[in-house]
Amino acid sequence: MALAHSDNHAEALHPDDASPAPTLRLLTVEGERTTRGEDADRVADIDDAALAELYTKMVVLRRIDAEGTALQRQGQLALWAPCTGQEAAQIGAAQAFRDTDFLFPTYRDHGVIHSRGVAPAEVMRQWRGASHGGWDPHVKSLAPVQIIIGAQTLHAVGYAMGAVFDGRGGAAVAFLGDGATSQGDANEAMVFAASYRAPVLFFLENNQFAISEPVTLQSRTPLVDRPRGFGIRSVRVDGNDVLAVLSATRDALARIDAGEGPQYIEAVTYRRGAHTTADDPTRYRDAELAAWWERQDPLARVEAHLCSRGADVDALAAAATGEADGVAAELRAAVVGMSEDDPELLFTHVYAEPHARLDEQRRDYLDYLAATTPETVTEGGAQA
Amino acid sequence: MSTLTLAKSINAALDEALSADERVVIMGEDIGRLGGVFRVTDGLQAKHGERRVVDTPLAESGIVGTAVGLTYRGFRPVVEIQFDGFVFPAFDQIVAQVAKLGYRTDGRHRVPMVIRIPFGGKLGSPEHHSESPESYFLHTPGLRVVSPGTPQDAHDLLLQAIASDDPVVYLEPKRRYYESAQVRLDALAEAPGMGRAVVRSAGDDVTLVAYGPLVRTAMEAAASAAEDGIGVEVVDLRSLSPMDYDTVCASVRRTGRLVVAHEASRTGGLGAELSAVVTERCFEYLEHAPVRVTGFDIPYPPAQLEEHHVPDRDRILDGIDHALGRLDGIGLSAPAETARVEGGAL
């Protein structure tokens, strides 16, 4: 593939890495857009107006993320996993997906999930502790978020093997983070994907950290180099460049459709927030490096580019913020009113079919609740 | 009616499921071209093709994890774990994914998967080839666990497991693979439900519960006891999760005595659970404390020592004697403290 730019930030992040892989970039930090070459051609349809739409989606995602953290701080959510800094990786990839692509996200892929038409409040049901899931995987072509690191990669590969077995088309996308690359499942997933030439895209968001552990602890070679050892084509993109991510994802999906088998993208990005709201990143984050990454901001470079094109960026930003505020207000209202206290739900979905032992436990517990719930005393003193 | 080995009964059930439902796919190591290391899947790939009888890379988590993905695609995978001791690399996928996905998705996605595991010992095998891991799975909500003790049940339970929308761990008594019996392959409708225990032999003195490879051993023990005039009611549990308490308790309420036998280690085992249940539900009917005849709390031993570890007919008979109060102080199945206090020597 043509590589528009090879920059040095990988070197800065992998001090022991003698030969960092080239990194696709189509939109520089300064807002300069590459328009020549096949990588650029793949996103030629993204004109200024379409880029402004992508920008708005990223602003909305950042706002949802901020609202998640705020709601947690206010006691409305039990936990939140921030994704700020990773907007271009998630929105750029999501822009390329078709309805026939079945996605297997991680718990930090809020932008990917939102792109599937899942209301943010539905996502937050699980972060509030009202549910472990939230949406119908089959309606959204979207698996529930995975918390066991890397487990979903095998699920995505299995789905894609199913496409080989039944011959009915479609593809799967496995999202994973840099920490997951150390897991056995993520490596077994590559073995199986390559063995069956499964139509699956591995989309790695290398956000530099697995909670506190830097990516150098997971790998002494660039992560993009690993899939090649499994026989899987792999490319690295600037994960803060929404156009580069979109281009690489479209290319990967086209190759999958053409029967080239599994594809792998490492989107190099940076988690600007905490791992979760329970985390304290000041204990492990290098301030100088963090400042460097701030300057790689995925939104700022789009603003700079559109500004250079003569767009009224202030108006665009105001409109995007207005839309984002509306989404945030809506999700806040939904989350604050959300409650789940039906004890029967403890038992309902464990099995698809009747289960004598669990059915006994449900009956006994509901009887216990009925017997121990205080009777309501009405105003007149009579018991209801 | 035909005479079939237990292995052939499983093969027949798989063949039937593959023929009846294009969503069924079977996967595992060496199951295709070779027909499985025990030949249980012999001939199936030749008949149904490589996309339905799938040889997999050597990675158990990969096998189960990709089978989860296949369920999102609408398949009903039947995966084979080659040996009991090889299931542990897949443990996370089974316990954290297969068992929980239905609950996680509020029932919107189900995992109709069967995980076949040849289990149990006494085959003279090296380490990791003779284990009885059932307690891990029956302790895991979301799974069902079954274990056939006869060729007929091997066929019927497997087809019931494949038809179930819940994930089922199907434990195959591998040392009984090549034992034969009369099997009806066309009588599934008349078979007991998947969660049901069955009484294999009637008796009034002791209830003896077993499953999988020890069903036959239990029947042998019952026959020997009958020669001494002791009536042993053998209950073949068949379903380890859920357990059929009704059948077990109905028997214990008549006999007043429970012996439960399994190859798995004692502590935290199925026998502990069943003893607790029988004590809770049949307390006033019991003439003696429940007795467990089990493997010891040791890693599975080297083959030359395994005959000491795996309960055989005589140890089950010893347990029966103990339950009848005939061997106080000697019984191998008695709690160690009791044996010491009463002066018994092993």
Q: What are the tens digits of pLDDT across the range B180-190?
A: 999 999 999 99
Average pLDDT over residues A273-301: 94
Q: Do B93 and A349 touch (CB under 8 A)?
A: no
Tokens of B63: 């096998």
- Report the pLDDT value the prediction gives residue B328, as an integer from 0 to 100: 57
Q: Is the pLDDT of residue B262 over 60?
A: yes
Average pLDDT over residues A80-102: 97
Tell me how close the Cα of A134 comes to any Cα of chain B, in angstroms: 7
Confidence of residue B79 (pLDDT cuts 50, 70, 90): very high
Q: Are B145 and B171 in contact (CB under 8 A)?
A: yes
The domain boundary, picked from B190, B221, B250, lies at B190
Q: Are A80 and A72 in contact (CB under 8 A)?
A: yes
| B114-119 and B76-80 strand pairing | parallel
Q: For residue A381, is it within any domain? A: yes
Average pLDDT over residues B287-303: 97
- Report the pLDDT value the prediction gives residue B345, as an integer from 0 to 100: 38
* B206 shares its domain with B179: no
Least confident of A3-7, A48-52, B210-214: A3-7
Q: Which of B189, B174, B54, B59 is nearest to B120 (CA)?
A: B174
Contacts 24+ apart (CB under 8 A), B333-340: B333/B259, B333/B291, B333/B292, B333/B293, B334/B291
Domain with A58 in it: what CATH number? 3.40.50.970
φ and ψ of B69, to 5 deg: -60, -35
* A114 shares its domain with A168: yes
Q: Is the pLDDT of residue B68 over 50?
A: yes
* A129 shares its domain with A272: yes
Q: For residue B346, is it within any domain? A: no
Q: For residue A2, is it within any domain? A: no
- Report the pLDDT value the prediction gives residue A155, as an integer from 0 to 100: 98
Least confident of A14-23, A130-139, B93-102: A14-23
Read off the pLDDT of residues B226-236 as tens digits, 9 standing for 90 and up: 999 999 999 99
Choose from A100, A122, A154 for mutation: most chain B CBs within 10 A.
Answer: A154
Q: For residue B299, is it within any domain? A: yes
| A209-210 and A213-214 strand pairing | antiparallel
Confidence of residue A374 (pLDDT cuts 50, 70, 90): confident
Q: Do A144 and B105 touch (CB under 8 A)?
A: yes
The domain boundary, picked from B190, B207, B228, lies at B190
Give the closest of A144, A161, A352 to B69, CB-based.
Answer: A161
Which range, A46-50, A276-280, B339-343, is most confident? A46-50
| Beta-ladder partners of B234 | B201, B208
Q: Do B62 and A131 touch (CB under 8 A)?
A: no
- Report the pLDDT value the prediction gives residue B335, as an integer from 0 to 100: 55
3-state SS record for chain B: CEEEEHHHHHHHHHHHHHHHCCCEEEEECCCCCCCCCCCCCCCHHHHHCCCCEEECCCCHHHHHHHHHHHHHCCCEEEEECCCHHHCHHHHHHHHHHHCCHHHHCCCCCCCCCEEEEEECCCCCCCCCCCCCCHHHHHCCCCCEEECCCCHHHHHHHHHHHHHCCCCEEEEEEHHHCCCEEEECCCCHHHCCCCCCCEEEECCCCEEEEECCCHHHHHHHHHHHHHHCCCCEEEEECCEEECCCHHHHHHHHHHHCCEEEEEEEECCCCHHHHHHHHHHHHHHHHCCCCCEEEEECCCCCCCHHHHHHHCCCHHHHHHHHHHHCCCCCCCCCCCCHHHHHHCCCCC
Residue B301, class by beta-carbon neighbours within 10 Å (0-12 exposed, 13-18 middle, 19+ buried)? middle
Read off the pLDDT of residues A296-350 as tens digits, 9 standing for 90 and up: 999 999 999 999 999 999 999 999 999 999 999 999 999 998 888 899 999 999 9
B60: containing domain: 2-190
- Report the pLDDT value the prediction gives residue A300, as an integer from 0 to 100: 97
What is the DSSP annotation of A168-235?
A: ---EEEEEEETGGGGSHHHHHHHHHHHHHT--EEEEEEE-SEETTEEHHHH-SS-GGGHHHHTT-EEE
- Report the pLDDT value the prediction gives residue A134, as an integer from 0 to 100: 78
Number of compact structural domains in chain B: 2
* B176 shares its domain with B243: no
CA distances from A110 to A17, A20, A127, A269 (A): 31, 29, 12, 15
Query: Which amino acid is located at B126 in the chain?
Result: P
A369: containing domain: 343-384
Average pLDDT over residues B286-293: 97
Tokens of B176: 């009984």
* A241 shares its domain with A351: no
CA gap A174, A105 in Å, rounded? 7
Residue A47, class by beta-carbon neighbours within 10 Å (0-12 exposed, 13-18 middle, 19+ buried)? exposed
Give the closest of A131, A184, A358 to B61, CB-based.
Answer: A184
CB atoms within 10 A of CB A300: 15
Checking ipTM against 0.85, whether it exceeds it is yes
* B181 shares its domain with B204: no
Read off the pLDDT of residues B27-57 as tens digits, 9 standing for 90 and up: 999 999 999 999 999 999 999 999 999 999 9
What percentage of chain A carries pLDDT values higher than 90? Answer: 88
Q: For residue A268, is it within any domain? A: yes
Q: Which residues contact A306 (CB under 8 A, 6 or more apart)?
A: A31, A48, A51, A52, A55, A313, A316
* A327 shares its domain with A376: no
Q: Do A192 and B62 touch (CB under 8 A)?
A: yes
- Report the pLDDT value the prediction gives residue B346, as an integer from 0 to 100: 39
Tell me how close the Cα of B274 comes to any Cα of chain A, in angstroms: 13
DSSP state of A76: S
Tokens of A17: 């890495």
* B290 shares its domain with B184: no
Choose from B108, B165, B196 for mutation: most chain A CBs within 10 A.
Answer: B108
Domain with B239 in it: what CATH number? 3.40.50.920
Spell out which chain A residues touch chain B, with contact meaning CB-CB distance below 8 angstroms: 102, 104, 131-133, 135-138, 143-144, 148, 151, 153-166, 172, 184-185, 188-189, 191-192, 195, 348-353, 355-358
The domain boundary, picked from B174, B190, B206, lies at B190
* B221 shares its domain with B139: no
Number of compact structural domains in chain A: 2
Read off the pLDDT of residues B111-156 as tens digits, 9 standing for 90 and up: 999 999 999 999 999 999 999 999 999 999 999 999 999 999 999 9
The count of CB pairs under 8 A between chains A and B is: 154
Q: Is the pLDDT of residue B23 over 70?
A: yes
When the pLDDT of each residue in chain B is averaged and rounded to a whole number, the result is: 95
* A97 shares its domain with A135: yes
Q: Do A162 and B51 touch (CB under 8 A)?
A: no
Confidence of residue B223 (pLDDT cuts 50, 70, 90): very high
* B185 shares its domain with B230: no
Across A61-163, the runs of DSSP E, i.e. the strands, are 101-104
- Of residues A220, A284, A351, A363, which has the active-site annotation? A284
Choose from A168, A346, A357, A362 for mutation: most chain B CBs within 10 A.
Answer: A357
Average pLDDT over residues A271-289: 93
When the pLDDT of each residue in chain A is averaged and rounded to a whole number, the result is: 92
Read off the pLDDT of residues A189-237 as tens digits, 9 standing for 90 and up: 999 999 999 999 999 999 999 999 999 999 999 999 999 999 999 999 9
What percentage of chain A carries pLDDT values higher than 70? Answer: 92
Domain with B160 in it: what CATH number? 3.40.50.970
